[in-house]
Chains A and B, each alone.
Chain A
Amino acid sequence: MTTTRRNLLKFVGGGAAGALLTPAPWRLITDSALWSENWPGIPRPAHGGITARFTHCTLCPAGCAVRARCVAGQPVSLTGVKPHAVSHGALCPWGIAGHHLPYHPARVRQGPVKEATAAVAQAIAQRGTGEHVAVLDLRPGRTVSWTHRRAMAAINGGLYLTPRQPGYSIDLAAAKTVISFGAPLFDGWGTPGNVIAARSIFRLIQIEPVETRTAAMADLWLPIQPGSEFMLAAALAGNMTLAEAALITGVGEQALAAVQEAAESGQAVVLAADPASPLMSLNEKYGALGRTVVARSDAPMPEAWKQAAPEMSMAAAPDGAIRVLLIDESLPGGYIPWRRIAPKLAPDAVVVVFTSSNDGYARHAQFVLPAAVYPETAEDIGPAIDTVAAVFRIAAPLIAPVVPAVDPARFVERLAGLPASEPLRERAGAIHKAGRGTLLDYTAAKSTPVKDVTADNFWKTLSQGGCWMDDSAKRTAPENLVFPAAGEPPRDERPLTVVVAEPRRGGLESPLMSKLERESNLRLAANRVALSPDGARASGIENGDRAVLETAFGRLNVVVAIDPSVPAGVVEVAGGPRMADLCGGNGRARVVRA
């Protein structure tokens, strides 16, 4: 046999035919298909024993009870705790994905701790007479807040500043009619489960310019001319005729009469989007004070804590006199627009913020220090607006801190020279000593009167995500309830009224929120505004266009959505710190095509 070209080809041909009769080519085809299903980069979920652990959500003051399904100790999904006297097993979309926050790509992961400490110490040492050290606590009423207050009492010229506080609780179960001036009852106002549970009892009249989620669920929605809420309130109070009010508010006279009748038929309560709004004073007329609007009660606390700095609103702070401002933004709360804070600062003030998000005061402070996020730390949650009995709920940590976080309370404590303490435990001790109320143990699914529990077991249960709830006391009218008079809005020629249609607290939110904001059209994202078709046409803007939202205080790049449910003359926005800095709630704005 000679090696010819023809024979070589036949050899190769024979080889190919033979190969087809073996498993090799077929196997390689399947294997490469399998490889394509297991690209490097497709993560494999960890496996392990499945357990349930309990905590409370700290994302808002509602503090809903949370049951975490954990795989090998790591929480993989969160649900509410059923049955529960207050939160009724409900969680909001933010709470459902709260366990993602520690891994948020935009989280503040490090900060100049040493530099901040040195700068603060130097500023305190060098401050002039009449210059103050202040803590701004965005979520007052927590045990940590008391640490801040004690520290500020210990420092000469220490101030404890908070956003405006309601100073009362609302007992929704005692209301037959709820007249809500834009209070987002179904979207972050109170405890979701509690509002939904009470919903079957009361009739809801929602007064607001746009059809929010709450307005869509109301028995009666009154689309009101934006900014004319006080006129409607004046008509309800009898200071204006219904005909006059109808003309100004755009709400029909008949509808106004219906509201008046419902309000005066008994057991009505008035709620406002801003809990400190003068609109709340209508409650006196309807006899809701002491029945639905009741004095807030706090959990017992150690006697020694009462030597604390008083709560002070930002407006009351002296101008140009805060030399050191420490902002505790570890939990998102009522953001005060920076333009209200800036005038209070001394020229060479040092501003330190403890936060996990770059969206809030981190934009304004010199020193941004990383704070722990839910569910990394043990802390309690301030009172919810719709919880009447005092509660003490601990958010038990579910995972170890992912970044080296700074504890704002420890920082402030050290600054004031207070000894390091375990305030949660001390407070639990004080509650146990008082001997009132019930201990809810979610793990064992039972509730026990406090007097039947030993102090050690009381603390142990609480620190594993338990809850103490006071006995329902006699309801009393809130004291010192002063609502400031409504100020005249500044004159502004801009054509559109800003309406916050999407209440947001700011702070981190799960990356999965894109499901509601970008991947569907359910919620208005922070960088989006909605205009009416007429309003958009007037500005030459089409759906999806990039534009600039311009107010008296600044500009923001946004994407415009055209939505026929938006009234003419209104621009709908989502809330949050950036929007608060830009317009501080309802202001005037212009949308210009970019």
Chain B
Amino acid sequence: MTPRKRYGMSIDIDKCNGCGACMMACAVENNVPPVPEAANDRKGITWIRVYRVDNHRAYPERRTAYVPVLCQQCGHDTPCVHVCPQQAVDVDPETGIVGQMPERCLGCRYCMVACPYHARYFNWWDPAWPAGMEKTLNPNVAPRMRGVVEKCNFCHGRWHAAQQKAAAAGKREIDAADYVPACVEACPTGALRFGDLDDPSTEVAHDAARPESFRLLEKIGTEPKIHYRSQRDWVRDIANAPHPDGKDQHRG
């Protein structure tokens, strides 16, 4: 039996320049379609979304930081698992990854209400790609249908691929280098890191233990596995904000 892992991520907010490469790589990897013209920032699907946050001062004292928010993979009392009437959400004891099963989902969106991080997204439309673009879909991830909820699963298709590669070599244990989510791979500044939080030799475990490290809404006790860090006090304060997206700015 493979040893149990507790996969997590560390995000250095001070390094994030808000380019959006992670969001693009995520959508490409996970077969997330571009939404129709009618969609806005409330109906779009972004498994990882980079929010602009600020220090609430007026120009020119105003300062911006970019905070990538994805499913925080809550490790304790996972809210979405609790509320799902369909058992469409489960936590994998092998990896700690919170999985979402579109085929089981009935589309009630209770989990979206329960999620403290707004990290779950609903398919308001059938997935549609411009003619020909469906050739660029990733075979390791199944497209979802209209009327179901989806979210980040740490690129589980890549975990499968790593398992397969290990199996081909006759091994049960995957090579850590073979399993890196698309956003982490794409981040040009190295702000995102990924690995096993229970293995003290990994970079993420080291990052999570830093004094400037924090987690979003740590106080509610869901033990999220995404560890943010910043040297700036006002950035660390966002950990307690109810929603990182200020209602006063909608630029997209």
Contacts and interface: CB of A to CB of B under 8 A. Distances in A.
A516 B131 contact: no
B2 interface: no
B22 to A, nearest CB: 9
Contacts of B40: 518-519
B19 interface: yes
B28 interface: yes
A32 to B, nearest CB: 13
Given A77-B29, A100-B133, A42 B127 contact: yes
B251 interface: yes
Interface in B111-148: 126-139, 141-143, 145-146
A522 B24 contact: no
A96 B44 contact: no
Interface-centre pick from A41, A48, A100, A525 (highest chain B CB count, 10 A) = A100
B21 A512 contact: no
Nearest to A222: B60
Contacts of B141: 45
B186 interface: yes
Nearest to A511: B34
A263 interface: no
B179 to A, nearest CB: 15
A36 B106 CA distance: 11
A546 to B, nearest CB: 14
Contacts of B219: none
B95 interface: no
A158 interface: no
Given A42-B127, A519-B44, A543 B20 contact: no
A93 B66 CA distance: 15
B126 A42 contact: yes
B249 interface: yes
Nearest to A106: B130
Given A75-B136, A186-B19, A96 B186 contact: yes
B28 A77 contact: yes
Interface in A72-124: 74-80, 90-93, 96-97, 99-100, 102-105
A46 B23 contact: no
Given A91-B188, A515-B27, A521 B135 contact: no
Interface string B3-39: 0000000000000011111011101110110110001
A74 B132 CA distance: 12
Interface string A553-584: 00000000111111110000000000000000
A517 B185 CA distance: 22
Contacts of B29: 77
Contacts of A521: 41, 51-52, 245, 249-252
Interface in B204-240: none
A515 B20 contact: yes
A512 B34 contact: yes
A281 B191 CA distance: 35
A568 B62 CA distance: 13
Contacts of B52: 521-522
Interface in B30-82: 31-32, 34-35, 39-41, 43-46, 49-52, 54, 58-60, 62-66
Interface string A532-555: 110000000001100000000000
Interface residues of A, number: 75
A77 B133 contact: no
A39 B145 contact: yes
A291 B20 CA distance: 33
B41 A518 contact: yes
B182 interface: yes
Contacts of A519: 35, 39-41, 43-46, 252
A523 to B, nearest CB: 6
Nearest to B106: A33
Contacts, number: 225
B44 A515 contact: yes
A515 B185 contact: no
B65 A216 contact: yes
A515 B189 CA distance: 20
B103 A92 contact: no
A216 B17 contact: yes
Given A511-B133, A512-B28, A522-B18, A561 B44 contact: no
Given A39-B145, A90-B188, A520-B44, A71 B63 contact: no
Contact of A100 (B60, B62, B128, B136): B136
A488 interface: no
Interface in A184-198: 186-187, 192-193, 196
A236 interface: no
Contacts of A41: 126, 128
A276 B63 CA distance: 30
A139 interface: no
A46 B20 contact: no
A528 B251 contact: yes
Interface string A504-530: 000000111111111111111100101
A96 B44 CA distance: 19
A339 interface: no
Contacts of A80: 188
Contacts of B190: 196
B32 to A, nearest CB: 8
Contacts of B133: 100, 103, 511
A528 B40 CA distance: 13
Interface-centre pick from A77, A78, A565 (highest chain B CB count, 10 A) = A565
Contact of A91 (B145, B186, B250): B186
Contacts of A77: 25, 28-29, 138, 182
A462 to B, nearest CB: 25
Nearest to A38: B145
A6 interface: no
Nearest to B102: A37
B130 A511 contact: yes
Interface-centre pick from B35, B103, B146, B186 (highest chain A CB count, 10 A) = B186
A43 interface: yes
Given A216-B66, A516-B24, A522-B18, A103 B135 contact: yes
Contact of A223 (B34, B59, B146): B59
Contacts of B43: 519
A433 interface: no
Given A37-B145, A105-B131, A518-B40, A196 B59 contact: no
A259 interface: no
Contacts of A512: 24, 27-28, 32, 34
B137 A46 contact: yes
Given A77-B25, A77-B182, A216-B18, A515 B136 contact: no
16 contacts: A43-B134, A43-B137, A75-B136, A76-B137, A99-B136, A186-B17, A186-B19, A216-B17, A216-B18, A216-B65, A516-B24, A520-B46, A522-B49, A524-B252, A561-B249, A564-B59
Given A45-B138, A46-B137, A48-B139, 11 more contacts: A43-B134, A77-B25, A92-B21, A99-B136, A223-B60, A512-B28, A519-B46, A522-B49, A524-B251, A562-B250, A565-B54
Interface of A: 36-39, 41-48, 71, 74-80, 90-93, 96-97, 99-100, 102-105, 186-187, 192-193, 196, 211, 213-214, 216-217, 223, 250, 402, 510-525, 528, 530, 532-533, 543-544, 561-568
The 7 closest A-B pairs by CB, nearest first: A519-B44, A90-B188, A103-B132, A45-B137, A43-B134, A223-B60, A521-B252
